Structure 1
Amino acid sequence: MQQAVHAAVGALIAEGGRETLTVPQIAQRAGVTPSTIYRRWGDLATLVSDVAQRTLRTECPIRPTGHFGTDLATWAEMYQEEMDSTPGREMMRDILRGWDGAQAACSLMDTVQPVIEAILAAAQPSVRLSAARVIDAVVAPVLTRLLFTDAPLPPGLARDAALRVAAEGRERE
């Protein structure tokens, strides 16, 4: 049932956008009753958020080489490009619409942590930074800018931040 509902949401968004999306449309497309959707997800925003969270990538999109600065900068550039795209911004907004603030962390942060940990692990023991420090330095500025402005991000924002935190990690050796 969950897969059918998620597929229906994705198809309806692709066909008509988020603005026209309704629970009855989704229910009809998925072959369930609207009450089933309301019981499981509570409201449309939570459902759309759940669908968006399932699309977040948690695997590392690069093969870490052990060169922390280069690996992190390469990933950061990809992350910025993906998140600053129209689908990336829409996904982020969809996720946040359904986030009630009760969870310890939003999935936008949870999904980047394993990627950063993989890059850090490949660079060990020469880099002594935590994933949290890298998230604060690289991911947080990107997400903050995306949340509070509709303007495209400055080119190199994430890459430059990655290079700065990588230099900080080398200084701690």
Structure 2
Amino acid sequence: MDTPRRPGGRSARVRASVHRAVTELVAENGYGNFTVGDVAARAGVADSSIYRRWGSLEALTSDVALTWLTTNSPIPDTGSLDTDLRHYAAGVARDVSGPDGLAVLHVVIALSRAGAAGNKARDQFLDERRKQLQQMLDRAPARGEHPPDALDVVDHILAPIYLRTLFGAGTLTSDYLDTLVDRLLAVTVT
């Protein structure tokens, strides 16, 4: 008889430790400048544990990015597209400015240059972000609102936030975020 795994048990602790090790190593050294062995040493686990669970460094870093994305930036449901977008922009700005946000953005960019496996991982991250956006946008028509396309939200809200974060090109103030939402709604919502 198989014993079911306990959520939050050793497996969850190992995963959290390995994820933390990856984001720390990316922040300290940049993506591509550490090995599975470095991650294992930092996390206090055996290399074989990482290979058994993730199979490769690309799969591990992809899991780190996807987990970060799905556990941060909750999708707001305020009853208004305008307010949802403002809360979403503020949440994304808070998350990418947080301790792991910049490291995760660097991981996603680096995955784009890591061959087929990296491209697949990057695409999974972007697809998850698109699903989050679409979930928020799909509620708007039922309220009589006309939402923009998800790609318009990426172009007008996410891209400027990500660029400012990656290049340190200005702070992400609430006024700046409101301006991004205002521009999006002025251009795309009829």
Task: Give the Cα–Cα distance (whole angstroms) in 2 for the partners of residues 128 and 23 of structure 1.
Answer: 43
- Name the structure 1 match of 2:19: 10
Q: Secondary structure at the match of 1:54?
A: helix
Q: Say if 2:66 and 2:124, in contact at 8 Å, map to a contact too.
A: yes
Shift of 1:123: 1.5
Percent identity of paired positions between Structure 1 and Structure 2: 21
- Name the structure 1 match of 2:81: 68
- Name the structure 1 match of 2:3: none
Q: Which blocks of at least 5 consecutive residues in structure 1 are unaligned?
A: none
Q: Secondary structure at the match of 2:100?
A: helix
Shift of 1:34: 8.2
1:121-140 superposed matches below 5 A: 121-124=138-141, 125-140=144-159
Task: Establish whether residue 146 from structure 1 lines up as the match of residue 165 from structure 2.
Answer: yes
1:1-173 superposed matches below 5 A: 6-10=15-19, 12=21, 17-18=24-25, 19=28, 22-24=35-37, 26-27=39-40, 29-31=44-46, 33=48, 36=51, 40-41=55-56, 43=57, 47-57=60-70, 60-65=74-79, 67-99=80-112, 100=114, 102=116, 103=119, 106-124=123-141, 125-147=144-166, 149-150=167-168, 153-156=171-174, 157-170=176-189, 172=190
Shift of 1:76: 0.7
Task: Give the Cα–Cα distance (whole angstroms) in 1 for the partners of residues 165 and 124 of structure 2.
Answer: 16
Task: Give the Cα–Cα distance (whole angstroms) in 2 for the partners of residues 46 and 162 of structure 1.
Answer: 34
| Structure 1 vs Structure 2 CA RMSD | 3.5
TM-score normalised according to structure 2 size: 0.65
Q: Identify the structure with bigger relative contact order (alpha carbons < 8 Å, sequence gap 6+).
A: 1
Shift of 1:32: 5.0
Q: Say if 2:40 and 2:47, in contact at 8 Å, map to a contact too.
A: yes
